[in-house]
Amino acid sequence: MKISIIGSGWLAQPLAMQLQTDGHEVIVTSTKQDKVSALNAKGLKAFQYELGEQLSHPDQLFDSDVLITAITSKDTGAFDVLMDQLTEQACKHLLFISSTSVYQNDGLLHDETSQRLNTKSPLLAIEQLIQLHPSASIIRFAGLVGPKRHPGRFFTGDKVLKNPDAPINLIHLDDCIGIIKTVIEQNAWNEIFNGCADCHPTKLQFYGKMAQQLGIDHIATANDDGRSHKIIDNHKIKTTTAYHFLHPDLLVVDF
C-alpha cells in the first residue's frame, strides 16, 4: 500500500521505518528542510509540509491508501483545511493519532463509549472533523514511553511526583506501532480505539521502580485531590482485532 504519514517524530519515524520494512510505500513529512534531508539519508521518502498549507502537488501526500496523522498539533483550523484537501483527493483511509487526555480525570474507568469527556480538549473537536471522512479511525494513546523516553527521567533533579497513589495509563512504543499496523492490516475503519497497557500500578510503584533503573533512590511526592486520574480500558482493541500487547505490564520492562 501507499501510506502517507504527516509527521516524523518519536512515534512517526520508527512507524514509517517498520511499515517500509513490511513492504509498503511510505512517505513522511517534516516542517523543516534540514530534517527532510536527514530522513532521506535514512532511506525514508520525505518532503517539507506543515499542516494546513496548500501543496502544489497534493496528490504526493493525499492520494494514498492510508493517511496517518502522527503530530502533536492541536490546531483545529489547520485540520479543517486538511479535511477540505482530502475531499479533493483519493485518500482511501484516514488514521488519526489522538490521546486519552480526551477523557475526564474523574477517578473512573473509561472505555471508548465513555461520555465523560474533557470538553475543553481541542482534540475532541479535531476527532469530530476526522470522523467526517468516509473511512477514518481514531486511536487514543495513553502516555508514550519507550526508547529515548525512559519513564525514570521524568523525576531527575528536584521534580515532585504528584498524586502518587493514582494509577498510571501508559503504552510502549512497540505497542503503538503494533496497534497502528493491526488497524491497517485488519481494515478496522470507522472505529475509535484506546491504546494503553493492561496494568495500572500506582505512580509511586511505577516511577519509583523506573527511577531506580537510572540509579535514583528517592522520589519526592506530594498528595493531590485524589481525583486527578482515570483508568483507561483497552479491551476493545483486543476483542475487535485480537491484538496481543507486547508489553502489557510496563513494570517488568527494562527501559
- Cα separation, 87 vs 76, in Å, equals 17
Set out the domains of the chain in order of their start, with CATH numbers.
2-146+169-198+230-252 (3.40.50.720)
Helix H or strand E encompassing 136 = strand 136-141
What type of residue is 92?
K
Q: Are 179 and 173 in contact (CB under 8 A)?
A: no
What type of residue is 42?
K
C-alpha cell at 2: 501507499
| Residues 6 or more apart in contact with residue 219 via CB below 8 angstroms | 155, 161, 204, 207, 208, 211
- Over residues 18-77, the pLDDT tens digits come to 999 999 999 999 999 999 999 999 999 999 999 999 998 899 999 999 999 999 999 999
- Over residues 103-117, the pLDDT tens digits come to 999 999 999 999 999
Eight-class DSSP state of 168: P
For the whole model, what pTM was predicted? Answer: 0.96
Kindly give the interhelix angle for 76-87 and 122-130, rounded to the nearest 10 degrees: 0
